[in-house]
């Protein structure tokens, strides 16, 4: 007998894709907010120094953003490994959401730099976050590997 209380793998995959798309779209919404509130940052005067007026602060934020994106891949891999070991497809969703949230942190750092420091190169943090999210696009194979024993029951 099939348990109707737990979603099947197709439904879980659709949910993951919707979550991924929503979080990715939020990055563009952040950019839109920045555009309407700080239009002067979109003039892209590339003659300013990369580190801006607060070099140490910018480099610290850069280290945090890069670390967040790097950790997103490590956390996702660990959750996916556990999902296969425990045959728990829900861990795939948890790992994907955590990975996307860590990538989103990079974009939020860029947004903070734009608002707090009028930092001209804020878009680099957005590019880093969005690129990380694109690499975290959900794959059916991950759910299948985590639920292959359940499908046979």
Per-residue pLDDT of the chain (153 residues; tens, 9 = 90+): 445 545 688 899 999 999 999 999 999 999 999 999 988 888 877 676 666 677 788 899 999 999 999 999 999 999 999 999 998 989 999 999 999 999 999 999 999 999 988 888 899 999 999 999 999 999 999 888 887 665 544
Q: Is residue 58, in this structure, part of any structural domain at all?
A: yes
Alpha-carbon dihedral 139, 27, 72, 114, rounded to 10 degrees: 160
User: In b/e form, how buried is each residue of 67-101, taking b as 16+ CB within 10 angstroms?
Assistant: ebbeebeebbeebbeebbeeebbbbbbbbbbbbbe
Cα–Cα distance list, 12 to 22, 74, 94, 101, 142 (Å): 15, 22, 11, 19, 11
Find out whether 99 and 75 touch, Cβ atoms under 8 Å: yes
Q: Is residue 23, in this structure, part of any structural domain at all?
A: yes
Looking up tokens 């894709």 gives 17
Q: Is residue 48, in this structure, part of any structural domain at all?
A: no
Cα–Cα distance list, 152 to 23, 81, 82, 131 (Å): 33, 20, 20, 36
Q: How many domains does the chain have?
A: 1
CA 105 to chain centre: 7
Q: Is residue 78, in this structure, part of any structural domain at all?
A: yes
The reported pTM is 0.86
Residue 32 domain boundaries:
9-42+53-147
């Amino acid at each position: 007998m099939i348990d109707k209380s737990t979603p099947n793998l197709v439904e879980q995959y659709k949910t993951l894709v919707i979550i991924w798309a929503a979080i990715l779209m939020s990055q563009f919404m952040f950019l839109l907010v920045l555009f309407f509130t700080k239009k002067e940052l979109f003039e892209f005067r590339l003659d300013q120094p990369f580190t801006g007026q607060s070099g140490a602060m910018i480099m610290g934020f850069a280290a945090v953003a890069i670390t967040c994106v790097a950790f997103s891949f490590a956390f996702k891999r660990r959750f996916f490994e556990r999902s296969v070991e425990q045959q728990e497809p829900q861990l795939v969703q948890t790992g994907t959401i955590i990975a996307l949230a860590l990538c989103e942190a990079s974009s939020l750092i860029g947004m903070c730099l734009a608002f707090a420091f009028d930092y001209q190169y804020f878009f680099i943090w957005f590019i880093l976050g969005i690129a990380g999210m694109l690499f975290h696009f959900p794959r059916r194979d991950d759910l299948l590997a985590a639920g292959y024993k359940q499908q046979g029951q």
